[in-house]
Chain A
Amino acid sequence: MQQEISFVEIAVIGGGPAGLCAALEAANAGARVVLLDRQDRLGGQLVKQTHRFFGSRSHRASERGINIAAELTGQVISHPLIEALTGATVFGFYEDGVLGVEQEGKVFYLKPSRVIVATGASEKTLAFPNNDLPGIYGAGAVQTLVNVYGILPGKRVLMVGAGNIGVIVTYQLLQAGMDVAAIVEAAPRIGAYWVHAAKVRRAGVPIHTSHTIKRAYGGREVEGAVIWQLDEQGQPVPGTEKDFAVDTICLSVGLSPLVELLAQAGCRLAYVPQLGGHVPFRDANLQTTVPGVYVAGDAAGVEEASAAMMEGALAGLHAAYSLGYSQTGYEARRAELQHQLDSLRSGPVGEKIRTGLTRVLVE
């Protein structure tokens, strides 16, 4: 069967914070961009972030993710050089650089000169007995149900994980009217920013540090959970069990980068725990070991949306520059974006990311 292949300048896969910024930066430089997202709306996971962001003004601090998503999506859709395709799943990255795309049951092929992979990440789970019972969700899943669709998954929830996502989602569940039994955190201290943790503590939610979930129980759905304490070696201490009658358990135990397309493209990957899992080697312009293939956002290493936006912009800028666009303003713009990204990762909060990046950043 004969198949037509469309030639395009830059394809961006994924319309979350990284992909939207990559598309805008490249198009503003003058390149023609096709942006593909498998969901039927752009914005990625920003569409459920109702809290205000941190950082400085240039990182969009104090703005809510939902508003950033709406603003960036509006710019992308109205940009004359960007063609945004939603409900479009990229199912294959072939060795000749061709992308296979499915949209509404139809398949077509693209041959881009540059590809920016901004596919994001997926939620991790945790091993404990009955962790497969209905009523046990990733924290992000519950955030989608509650903040996008306005539906509560149950009445009373146990949150596992006191990092930023766990604590922020806890607060959002309280706002939405759910009862939160407790937050459980295996580490000896709370990982989230204190301002978020203080909010849930003021609301009366106990945070059990050095505790983990022992098991969930229930018939066809969750009816409760037992937690227990961990000693200094991280071993559970028998006799310290606490029982919570809950119909919902949220797991907020990290994310894994979605790198399947990068693996198909032949990019060299490495397992870097600090970045969430397998991630591609990349240079400062986010170009992988396959020339012309870039990565940005959580697919490059799990980090915050603000960093994803900066990485997307850097990748988009370089992809356009390498095609001959924006030859005059390039150096200044690149330095500005790099400076913003570096300042975002400075200080003790960014230490884990900085350590992880040393493993995969190449000249």
Chain B
Amino acid sequence: MRIEQHPVLEFRRGKKIKFTFDGKEYEGYEGETIAAALHAAGIRVMRESPVLHRPRGLFCAIGNCSSCLMTVNGEPNVRICVEKLRPGMVVESQKGKGVIYAAGN
């Protein structure tokens, strides 16, 4: 949920841009991270743990902990808490450890 009124801060949001998450279209703002745009849309589950398939979300939000790894434009293991949203990005929940060089790619 986006904050509209704040006693100390003023949020200057960039241009509205579109992206997709698991095939569905969403809107975010230029200058914010993928994690911020997903949270604004109420999406907090980012991937599945590789062994027990438990849902995983954001933990540190500053690129330290690797809890929020997702597949972005086909590239797995992107730390979406520090990766900026760009127009037309294809963001997908990550299952497993992610494969970069699969046979046939």
Contacts and interface: CB of A to CB of B under 8 A. Distances in A.
Most chain A CB atoms below 10 A, which of B3, B45, B46: B3
A135 B44 contact: yes
Contacts of B84: 40
Contacts of B57: 133-137, 221
A181 interface: no
Contact of B82 (A39, A122, A142, A145): A39
A223 to B, nearest CB: 12
A176 B6 CA distance: 6
B45 A141 contact: no
Per DSSP, chain B at the interface is: loop
B65 A132 contact: no
Most chain A CB atoms below 10 A, which of B33, B39, B57: B57
A68 interface: no
A144 B35 CA distance: 11
A122 B64 contact: yes
Interface residues of B, number: 35
A138 B59 CA distance: 6
Interface string B29-73: 000110110011000111001000011111111111100000000
Nearest to A131: B59
Interface string A143-175: 011110111111100000000000000000001
A132 B68 CA distance: 12
Interface of A: 38-40, 45, 50, 64, 66, 122-123, 125, 132-138, 140-142, 144-147, 149-155, 175-177, 220-221, 258
Given A135-B44, A175-B8, 9 more contacts: A39-B82, A50-B8, A50-B9, A123-B64, A133-B57, A136-B59, A137-B59, A221-B55, A258-B64
26 contacts: A40-B84, A45-B62, A50-B8, A66-B9, A132-B49, A132-B56, A134-B44, A134-B46, A137-B57, A137-B61, A138-B59, A138-B65, A141-B59, A141-B60, A141-B62, A144-B62, A145-B36, A149-B32, A149-B36, A150-B13, A151-B1, A152-B3, A175-B8, A176-B3, A176-B6, A177-B5
